[in-house]
Amino acid sequence: MKIAFDAAASQTVRFAASELEKYLTKMLPSTSQLAFRLTVTGRQPLDAFSVRIAADGGEICGVNDRSVLLGVYDYLHRLGCRFLAPGADCEVIPAISPQALPAAYEKRASFRHRGVCIEGADSRENILDFIDWLPKLGYNSFFFQFKVPFAFLARWYQHQGNPHLKPEAYRVEDAQADTAALEAELKKRGLMLHKVGHGWTGEVLGYQTVSWDQQPRPLAPEERAMAAEIAGRRELWQGSPANTNLCFHNGDAVDAFARLVVNYARENPAVDYLHVWLADEYNNVCECGGCRQTTPSDQYVALLNEIDRRLTAEGLPTRIVFLLYQELLWPPIREKLAHPDRFVLMFAPISRTFESSYDLSGPEVPVPAFVRNHIVLPTNLQENLAFLRGWQRLFHGDSFVYDYPLGRAHYGDLGYVHIARVISSDIKQLHKMGLDGYISCQELRVCLPNALPNYIMGYTLFDESADPQALIQEYFSAAYGARAGEILSYLDALSSLSSCDYLNGKGPRTDPAIAGRMEQVSRLCRDVSLDAAGDGCPLFWEILRYHRDYVLALSRALGALAGGDARQAADGWYALRELICQNEQKYQPFLDVYRVLEVTRKYTGFPLSEE
């Protein structure tokens, strides 16, 4: 096989050539008579490629380096390759003849922003496998939260929440080295790098902020004046620098914040999108007399304008992502961004329901009045959209949604079919919402019972016209072979009995209807036949059997909670914890044990005897 490219080709194009050769060598009986060429026609930002291949080879051409790689993977998908989940064990690579090679087509991405943001507890290998998987499904971005994603790596290596695994030493310095290596792999694939977001406020206050952890050191006197005043006190919010807001009436706080951002931008030119957010949590903004004269969003926009002014003075082209989240959902009253082209709006409806998709059909609802430190986050989709429309009246630039279907809600969908369909429907409405893409804030170990939601997300973000049912059938056929229809019916039934909202703490905890549905879930799990694996991908049959045990344990706990039996609910949660903690090493890439335990402990409402 010969694969030609320009002598000055980037590492991304060279990587694309190696991937094409690797997979075709596995698929074909002989590749000695094949000749391909990979070409780049420019540096256009919106991905697009063309494929012109005959039985003896041909050309894959992209409008940028990354598009060449996307074109290679799309062509392999067209030939029957199925990249079902992160990792080589989850790939289905068919044997084909040279007669299957001819293809002539073009594709252009539907959206500019198509990515995933790290969450949960992750090993280096988890992150690398996920980065490797992204372009195979058409994604183009990855987001490392904080300056260093120490929190997510440390959760795994320290085995937080799992008493069956011995904690390993893992330091911020280890995370810095791992991040540098992972970012190099990301750049090799031409993926766009998003960074930081959380942590700026803690850094302003003098803390190295790489997690939401509490800090024992109190604020120093010179730092205290820059912290938000709440109930007459200026201190760390619940001990966490990352969750502590600033007093933006204090010019020193604004100056320190802007200086930090500009220094970081100067020292990290490889970052494509730098996220500038305020503190996490809500109802914790400054109550001093100066801050009360304006709104958090007006102060935020003024801060962004100051950062923009300083970046411009230094000739730095850094793109800044600003966040519509919690208090910042309320649009500013007086301030506007002076140079909108530098900025990207990110709409983050974290409190939304996932029982259904975005609803654009109803009448517009008004934005509720802002009441400082007494806000109630919107659950209703129309209310969430009202906030977005308010900002869009003031900002007409680049934008995307930052959503959470695989951050918490998916644990409430026991079959993963419902949440996959919601994702598809949401993406298909993005252009109507005035948004040019989607970044999913999510766990990376999201494959129990399978990784269908991310599969549909990636392919639909590249082509918004993608048929979700066709993708579901394609996925299940590759994973489960001749029994695909039977397994789809089983998992679809589990989804129809599930409730994303109930597991995430929305609605009353005693709910006879949910209790009855959980009993039906248990019966479905007991009745399904999974012992004799069918054809398809053997690993997915093993995962499916483990998933059945997991669902039985979780549904028993949820059923007891919904039925009002506190003791059985707590016992059920502890039994679930024991099951998944004992099996975590065996099924590590497929279920984020730390995260599911955190979510069910924090949101679901199990009456547990321990904190």
pLDDT tens, residue by residue, 17-39: 999 999 999 999 987 899 999 99
Q: Tell me the one-letter amino acid at 201.
A: T
Mean pLDDT of 274-286: 97
| Maximum separation of any 2 CA atoms in the chain, in Å | 78
* Cα–Cα distance for residue pair 151/145, rounded to 1 Å: 9
The b-or-e profile of 326-363 (16+ CB within 10 A means b, else e) is bbbbbbbeebebeeeebbbbbbbbbbbbbbebbeeeee
Mean pLDDT of 554-559: 98
Task: Give yes or no for a contact between 158 and 167, defined as CB atoms under 8 angstroms apart.
Answer: yes
φ, ψ of residue 287 in degrees (nearest 5): -110, 10
Which residue, chain included where needed, has tokens 């067209």? 78
Q: Does the pLDDT at position 103 exceed 80?
A: yes
Q: Does the pLDDT at position 48 exceed 60?
A: yes
Residues of the chain with CATH 3.30.379.10: 2-108
Q: What percent of the chain has pLDDT over 90?
A: 95
Output the pLDDT for position 360.
87
Helix (H, G, I), strand (E, B) or coil at 412: helix
Q: Does the pLDDT at position 222 exceed 80?
A: yes
pLDDT tens, residue by residue, 517-526: 999 999 999 9
β-bridge partners, 146: 196
β-bridge partners, 466: none
Task: Give yes or no for a contact between 148 and 172, defined as CB atoms under 8 angstroms apart.
Answer: yes
Q: What percent of the chain has pLDDT over 70?
A: 100
Task: Give yes or no for a contact between 115 and 439, defined as CB atoms under 8 angstroms apart.
Answer: yes
Q: Does the pLDDT at position 440 exceed 70?
A: yes
Output the pLDDT for position 380.
83
Cα separation values, 267 from 77, 146, 184, 260, Å: 39, 15, 16, 11
Report helix, strand and coil shares of the chain as percent, to nearest 5: 45, 15, 40
Q: Could you count the other beta carbons within 10 Å of the beta carbon of residue 216?
A: 6
Residue-by-residue DSSP string for 487-524: HHHHHHHHHHH--HHHHTT-S-S--HHHHHHHHHHHHH
φ, ψ of residue 468 in degrees (nearest 5): -60, -35
Output the pLDDT for position 219.
96
**Tokens at 488, concatenated:** 């789809």
pLDDT band for position 534 (cuts 50, 70, 90): confident
pLDDT band for position 42 (cuts 50, 70, 90): confident
* Cα–Cα distance for residue pair 320/315, rounded to 1 Å: 14
β-bridge partners, 106: 50
β-bridge partners, 298: none
Output the pLDDT for position 567.
97
* Cα–Cα distance for residue pair 354/505, rounded to 1 Å: 12
Output the pLDDT for position 385.
94
* Cα–Cα distance for residue pair 557/572, rounded to 1 Å: 4
The dihedral region occupied by 537, where left means phi > 0, alpha psi between -120 and 50, and beta the remainder, is beta
Taken in order 122, 464, 320, 251, the sign of the CA dihedral is negative
Output the pLDDT for position 364.
85
Q: Does the pLDDT at position 202 exceed 80?
A: yes
Task: Give yes or no for a contact between 302 and 337, defined as CB atoms under 8 angstroms apart.
Answer: no
Q: Does the pLDDT at position 611 exceed 60?
A: no
pLDDT tens, residue by residue, 126-148: 999 999 999 999 999 999 999 99
pLDDT band for position 314 (cuts 50, 70, 90): very high
* Cα–Cα distance for residue pair 324/297, rounded to 1 Å: 9
Q: Does the pLDDT at position 361 exceed 90?
A: no
- Strand (E) positions, 348-458? 398-403, 437-443
Q: Does the pLDDT at position 172 exceed 90?
A: yes
Q: Could you count the other beta carbons within 10 Å of the beta carbon of residue 575?
A: 15
DSSP 411: G
DSSP 410: G
Output the pLDDT for position 174.
98
* Cα–Cα distance for residue pair 157/48, rounded to 1 Å: 39
Residue-by-residue DSSP string for 146-198: BSS-HHHHHHHHTTTT-TTS------HHHHHHHHHHHHHHHHHTTPEEEEEET
Of 127, 130, 164, residue with least CA distance to 148: 127
Q: Does the pLDDT at position 485 exceed 60?
A: yes
**How far is residue 76 CA from its own chain's centroid?**
25
Output the pLDDT for position 153.
98
* Cα–Cα distance for residue pair 475/85, rounded to 1 Å: 10
pTM of this structure: 0.97
pLDDT band for position 294 (cuts 50, 70, 90): very high
Mean pLDDT of 120-124: 98
Helix (H, G, I), strand (E, B) or coil at 42: coil
Instruction: Out of 1.10.4190.10, 3.40.50.1820, 3.30.379.10, 3.40.50.300, select the CATH number for domain 2-108.
Output: 3.30.379.10
Mean pLDDT of 491-519: 98
**Angle at CA of residue 79, ends 76 and 85, nearest 5°:** 55
Mean pLDDT of the chain: 97
Point out the least confidently predicted range of 222-231, 378-387, 429-438, 518-527. 378-387
Rg (CA), the chain: 25
pLDDT tens, residue by residue, 317-353: 999 999 999 999 999 999 999 999 999 999 999 999 9
Q: Tell me the one-letter amino acid at 307.
A: I
β-bridge partners, 145: 196
Output the pLDDT for position 363.
83
Q: In sequence order, what are the residues at sequence separation of 6 or more whose Cβ sits closer than 8 angstroms to the Cβ of residue 251?
A: none
Output the pLDDT for position 410.
98
* Cα–Cα distance for residue pair 498/496, rounded to 1 Å: 6
Output the pLDDT for position 196.
98
Task: Give yes or no for a contact between 138 and 462, defined as CB atoms under 8 angstroms apart.
Answer: yes
pLDDT tens, residue by residue, 76-98: 999 999 999 999 999 999 999 99
